[in-house]
Amino acid sequence: MTRKGKRLLWITPVAAMLAVCLVQCAFLVRYPYFRKYAAQNGISLREARKAWGHPSKESEWAFGLAVEASRENWDKVSALAAQDRRAEIGTYYYNLSNAMKGQLADKLMDYYQPFERGLFLPVGERSTPFKIACAGDVWFALGYMPLAERDAMLGMLFSPAHTGPRYLRRLAETNLVTGDYEAASKYLRILLNSPDERQWALERFPDRWSPSYQLRIAEKRNLAPQFDLVHGMDQAQIILRILLSSNPTNKMALDYLLCYDLLTKDLDAFVGDYDPSLTSSRLYEEAMLIFLAAKGGMSQDNFAHYHISGPVLQRFNRFVTIYRQDNGAARNLTADFADSYWYYFYFAVKNEKD
């Protein structure tokens, strides 16, 4: 063989390997969250492609939301969610990140809201494994460990490898919060034997908790229900009421309950659940005005009791005037009132196919 031939013999495979590496690097640069979500599921990129197909812009965005939420990087979740893609998963994390900043109600009407499914992802026969894997994040944030644990277990059950740090971490933490160290130790041991998770697991051993982690667990424990009630698998309203009766100062649970009432257009439930001394928002004022107008309660006393401000009342009157003039049509209301609860209440239509 000539010298040139010999050179070609080793240059060709090296060039091929370089090309593969370049393609792989380009892939990782373009889809960083795909890789991170695959790692959270304990699978390689190849396995991830097999399980979930080739990533798209949409899936990369959704994986990003799930990854950043699992790390509780709420600013990054907000930034990702700002790309409103009219998807349930986007709304779910948009609402959750706002709730973590105490702004759930204030920003609820700024975004696409697919009724209550933007607050709690349904877990059922028609749910995708991805949504099931994400469904427990809100329950963990609210301090309701039974469903946070259930959804982590179901997420793991439907994940490609039937395991993965994403689920094992959550399962370890839910049990640390409930004080079930025996259960937590099962998950911590598995994580400890995974090189990437070793440090995380070590820091969760109860005798190694840092002051900030002790505080985190204490805060979660404060939110836990103090009494046992057997309820259906996905009765969000009942669960939120259980949380609130054990801890009336759980403002996040209260806002979720009130927003749930409003997104399901259940104003009677809203009025029953709403205590203006515990939480406030323009959204609640707007909802109260619909209720008061319907029940003949438009009095100064009621406005004062429900903290309804003058500007909100004036805006409501303007909305009603246009609404009546146009015989209930939306066309002249969209520009000025699309971000109001009144607009949602009268014009949002549930897609029954979902």
Partner 1 sequence: MKRIDVICRILLLTCLLLSCGRSYDVRPAGPGTDRTSFLFPDYQDVTIPCNIAPLNFYYTDPAGSAFRTVFSAGGVSITIKGREVVWKEKDWTRLLAAAAGSDITVTSSGRSGGHPVDRQWVIHVERDRIDPFLTYRLIEPGFEVWDELEIQERNLENFETRNISDWRHTGNRCMNCHIHAQGRGDLSMFYVRGKDGGAILNRNGVLRKLELRDSAMISSTVYGEIHPDCRFGVFSTNIIIPAMHSAGGRRMEVFDTKSDLCVADFDRNRMLTFPETARADVFETFPAFSADGRYVYYCAAPARQLPAEIDRMMYSLVRIPFDAETGTLGAPADTVWSAAERGKSVCHPKASPDGRWLLFTVADYGTFPINHRECDLCMMDLSTGTLIDLSAVNADKSDTYHSWSSDGKWFAFASKRGDGLFGKPYFSHVSPDGTVTKPFVLPQKNPHFYDNMLRSFNVPDLGNAPVGFDAQTVGELLKDAAAEPFE
The contact set with partner 1 (CB under 8 A) reads 144, 146-147, 149-150, 153-154, 156-158, 162-163, 178, 180-183, 185-186, 188-190, 192-193, 198, 205-206, 224-233, 239, 242
The least distance separating partner 1 from the CB of residue 136, rounded to whole angstroms, comes to 12
Cβ 187 to partner 1 shortest distance, Å: 9
- In angstroms, rounded to a whole number, what is the distance separating the alpha carbons of residues 74 and 86? 19
DSSP state of 160: T
The residues, ordered by sequence, that sit 6+ positions from 221 with a Cβ below 8 Å of its Cβ are: 177, 179
Distance of closest approach, residue 239 Cβ to partner 1, in angstroms: 7
74, 97 in Cβ contact below 8 A? yes
Gap between the Cα atoms of 273 and 281, Å rounded: 14
**Rounded CA separation 178/217 (Å):** 9
Q: Which is nearer to partner 1, 139 or 344 (CB)?
A: 139
Euclidean distance between CA atoms 159 and 129, whole angstroms = 7
Nearer to partner 1, 48 or 242 (CB): 242
Give the shortest CB-175-to-partner 1 separation in angstroms: 9
Q: What is the dihedral of CA 153, 155, 198, 175, to 10 degrees?
A: -30
Q: Closest CB to partner 1 among 9 and 229?
A: 229
Q: Which of 279, 284, 274, 170 is nearest to 220 (CA)?
A: 170
Residue 29 or 233: the one with the smaller Cβ distance to partner 1 is 233
Taking the complex as a whole, the smallest distance from the CB of residue 196 to partner 1 amounts, in Å, to: 14
Kindly state the smallest distance separating residue 61's Cβ from partner 1, in Å. Answer: 26
Question: From the CB of 121, what's the least distance to partner 1, in Å?
Answer: 15
Place of tokens 């209260």: 254
Query: 146 or 297: whose CB is closer to partner 1?
Result: 146
The Cα–Cα gap between 240 and 38 comes to 32
Residue closer to partner 1 by CB (options 96, 156) is 156
Q: How far is the CB of 315 from partner 1 (least distance, A)?
A: 40
267 CB-near residues (< 8 Å, 6+ apart): 261, 287, 290, 291, 294
- Tokens 């986007």 correspond to 90
Residue 230 or 349 with smaller CB distance to partner 1: 230
Dihedral (Cα; 190, 65, 102, 229), 10-degree rounding: -50
Q: Which is nearer to partner 1, 64 or 143 (CB)?
A: 143
Per-position b or e across 34-71, b if 16+ CB within 10 A of its CB: bbbbbbbbbbebeebeeebeebeeebbbbbbbbbbbbe
